[in-house]
Amino acid sequence: MCGIAGLFIKGARLQPELGALLAEMTSTLCSRGPDSAGFALYTADSPGRTKLTVTSLAGRADFETLAVLLGRSIGAAVYFTNRHTHSVFSVPADLVGQCRSWLAENAQDLRVLSEGANLEIYKEVGYPDDVARQFNIQSFSGTHGIAHTRMATESAVTTTGAHPFSTGADQCLVHNGSLSNHASLRRELLQDGIVAETENDTEVAAGYITRELRRGRALGDALKSTLNDLDGFFTFVVGTKNGFGVLRDPIACKPAVMAETDDYVAFASEYRSLAALPGVADARVFEPKPATPYFWEH
- Known catalytic residues? 2
Number of residues in the chain: 298
Reduced to 3 states (helix: H, G, I; strand: E, B; else coil), residue 54 is strand
* Residues 179 and 204 sit within 8 Å (Cβ to Cβ): yes
Q: Nearest-CA neighbor of 121 among 186, 71, 194, 171?
A: 171
Q: Which helix (H) or strand (E) holds 261?
A: none
Q: What is the DSSP string of 182-242?
A: HHHHHHHHHHTT----SS-HHHHHHHHHHHHHHTT--HHHHHHHHHHH--EEEEEEEE-SS
Strand pairing report for 243-248 and 110-116: unpaired
CA angle 193, 195, 198 (to 5 degrees): 170
Alpha carbons 26 and 273: distance in angstroms, whole number: 7
128-165: burial string, b at 16+ Cβ within 10 Å, e else: beebbeebebeebbbbbbbbbbbebeeeeebbbbbbbb
Query: How does strand 3-9 pair with strand 36-42?
Result: unpaired
Q: DSSP for 33-45?
A: -BSEEEEEEE---
User: What do you get for the CA distance between the two ends of the chain, in Å?
Assistant: 31
